[in-house]
Amino acid sequence: MVRITTRKNVRILLLGDRGVGKTSLILSLVSEEFPDDVPAKAEEITIPADVTPEMVPTFIVDYSAAEQTDDQLLEEIRKAHVICLVYSVDDERTLMRITTHWLPLLRDAIPHSRCPIILVGNKEDLIEDTTVDAAQEIMEEYPEIESFVECSAKSLKNISEMFYYAQKAVLHPIAPIYIADKQDLTEGCKIALTRIFRVCDLDNDGFLNDEELNEFQKRCFDLPLRKKAMEEVKEIIRRHITGGVSHNNCITLKGFLYLHCLFVQRGRSHTTWTVLRKFGYNDHLDLSKDYRFPQVKVPRGSSTELSHRGAEFFKRLFNKYDKDKDGALSEVELAEMFKICPRVWGTNIQNIVPTNAKEWITQQGFLCFWTLTTVSDLQKTFEYLAYFGYPINECENQLSAIQVTREKKLDLLKKQSTRNVYQCHVIGTKGVGKSTVCRRLIDHTFERIKKDTSGIPQKTINMVTVYGQEKYLIMKDIEVGNVMDPLEPSDLKCDVVCLVYDTVNPKSFEYVARIYLKYFDDGKIPVLFVCNKSDLIPEIRQDYLVTPSAFCDAHNLAPPHRHTCTDVGTKEIYHKLATMAAFPHLTELSLLSSDSILWKAGLGIAFVAAIGLVVSKLMKHESILNTIFYSFSFEDLDTADFSFINT
């Protein structure tokens, strides 16, 4: 649940000289009649959330100089969210004391606070004149005063309005969003509204057309915008500024900002705050922590992946900024995307995910990046879903964009993984080509890999097809100094292990064999031995007790996979690793490499997919039936044509 307001309650403190009517104002509000007997101080009043316009509980606190000390006064001032500073309109001395005593006292007590103040002139029923001019002069000198109201506790005039203004000053404060002297929005407010404008500009053309305006209206106010009202809004913008409405009758960013400036100037700051809070902003115009990071529990042994909704959102985001529709995001297009949030990746992205010949990230690479981020740093995915405008409201947040997989032990029990993302840890001694194995997953040529001398351990991700289903495979190069150095617990958290040795280093197999015996001999994680550089020379004898083939046979493993990184387009190793991750129980069988076993596994997947297709078609027809049925009124039943059922 995401709350529209960031306050859990509102605390209103009434201050002013003795006899100005503070207590009477409180009692008149509560009882809706003027009290005959007024005590020196009213007890703290609690107004339940369900009887306030903003659905926020409100506490009203009285002050009495006769009953409270100066220390108690200062404590109440610091606890208050808003202060109603009361004077009597028929006593000029109480008005003068507002500037000579009370406002200086508040500035000293809370020097760095943005606690708003409501200036209240009580006993309006006793005079025929008004103190508006005097109040206006005070407000110009003291910008912390947000509004002014004249009222009467006796006649009940403007009592409810006074407390509404106080509540509004807390929930929809003016100071963070508007500069009265300049009659303009604050810079922070402009930045926030600019981000909102860009999020709502679904086709990324720099304008809000009628369809986008309607979606914005529904998201913020839960109601569509009538065509007439839409044109009236545009006409208001046209009358007051040039360039607010484009030649094709769309609202520009300039017009959007002006509209919100006009809301504030006309006393409708709550409209702008509703928009800001629907898009996650708190009172300081930062995206709130609750909005960016929803709570989620990931059981031990489970992982996190993008759901179908999450993947579709990132696809739409990619297409929105791929202006030239070339299937990749250029630096200019990326800069446009990251105008609304900090840049999420550095210059090394082309060595992690698929890119095109210009090293621009492709749509597949874009999905791979967010898939990898969701697995390794879920909070970052949540945060950027919020930045990019994933539809978050009171009923839904980013949790619908991800899915938590079932626990790994259940995959082993069921003899099949339900995951769509598999992590493969690549282990081997230095020089055997681990990084090359990782980089070939994203189709980097051997020549390109050789030019990269950074020596940084590689992590790559790409899509791999496992019997007709698209899965994601993450290859991570695990750095181990020597076989005596222990692996970290995180190094053992994966779905499949690739142990690499090569044909030119006779000591390389002993290294991975000892790693296997020490960490993976229990069979909980599938393991594939890979003989790398198999194209260089005939395989030399490894300096170990038994041959690699005999070792694998003895431990009920598939024979070593012969691999070369110079073959363009070779994907066999990655398909095999992904299949092993999908069917972890097969690692216990010596027949892992048998085509018949894998064929049966593939047949099982194909059968499940076929059943899923039938079910989805049935659900689709059911949805059509429901849509048509509920579109009929009961009067239509006699004349309705149900022949579509036969089709």
pLDDT digit string, tens, across residues 298-321: 998 899 999 999 999 999 999 999
Q: Taking 50 as the threshold, does the pLDDT of residue 592 lie above it? A: no
Give dist(CA 402, CA 296) in Å, integer: 10
Q: Which amino acid is at 460?
A: T
Between CA 86 and CA 166 the distance in angstroms is 12
List, in sequence order, every residue forming a beta bridge with 427; answer none if it has no partner: 499
- Joined tokens for residue 103: 């406002």
With beta carbons less than 8 A apart as the criterion, state whether 499 and 527 touch: yes
Alpha helices in 344-445 (DSSP H): 363-376, 378-388, 408-414, 434-440
Q: Contact at 8 Å (CB) between 459 and 364?
A: no
pLDDT of residue 435: 87
CB atoms < 10 A from the CB of 372, how many?
20
| Amino acid identity, position 579 | T
Q: What does the pLDDT look like over 220-279, one tens digit per residue?
A: 998 888 899 999 999 999 999 999 999 999 999 999 999 999 999 988 898 999 999 999
From CA 216, how far away is CA 222, in angstroms rounded? 9
- 459 CB burial (10 A radius; 0-12, 13-18, 19+): middle
* Element housing 424 (H / E): strand 421-427
User: What pLDDT does residue 317 have?
Assistant: 97
Residue 19 falls in which region: left (phi positive, over 0), alpha (psi -120 to 50) or beta: left
Residue 310's pLDDT is what? Answer: 97
Buried b (16+ CB within 10 A) or exposed e, 592-618: bbeeeebeebbeebeeeeeeeeeeeee
β-pair partners for 11: 59
DSSP string covering 593-631:
T-HHHHHHHHHHHHHHHHHHHHHHHHHHHHHHHHHHHHH
At residue 472, what are phi and psi to the nearest 5 degrees?
-110, 135
Q: d(Cα 383, Cα 397) in Å, to the nearest integer?
A: 11
What does the pLDDT read at residue 198?
A: 96
Q: What is residue 520's three-state secondary structure?
A: helix
Reported as a single tens digit per residue, the pLDDT across 35-91 is 888 898 999 999 888 877 677 899 999 999 888 899 999 999 999 999 999 999 999
Torsion on CA atoms 508, 514, 515, 517, rounded to nearest 10: 140
Strands (E), 245-352: 304-306, 328-329
* DSSP structural state of residue 102: I
For 290, the token pair is 């609750």
pLDDT, one tens digit per residue, over 513-547 is 999 999 999 888 999 999 988 776 676 889 898 99
Please check whether residue 531 is in contact with residue 503, taking contact to mean a CB–CB distance below 8 angstroms. yes
pLDDT at 7: 67
Angle between helices 363-376 and 378-388 (to 10 degrees): 130
pLDDT higher than 80, residue 643: no
pLDDT grade for 393, boundaries at 50, 70 and 90: confident
Q: What DSSP string runs through 68-91? A: --HHHHHHHHHH-SEEEEEEETT-
**Model confidence over 406-442: pLDDT tens digits?**
988 888 788 778 899 999 999 998 888 898 899 999 9
Instruction: Read off the pLDDT of residues 594-605 as tens digits, 9 standing for 90 and up.
Output: 444 444 444 454
pLDDT, tens digit, for every residue of 628-637?
223 333 233 2
Long-range CB pairs of 375-379 (<8 Å, 24+ gap) are 375/303, 375/304, 375/305, 375/421, 375/423, 375/474, 378/296, 378/298, 378/304, 378/402, 379/293
Q: Average of pLDDT values for 110-117?
A: 80
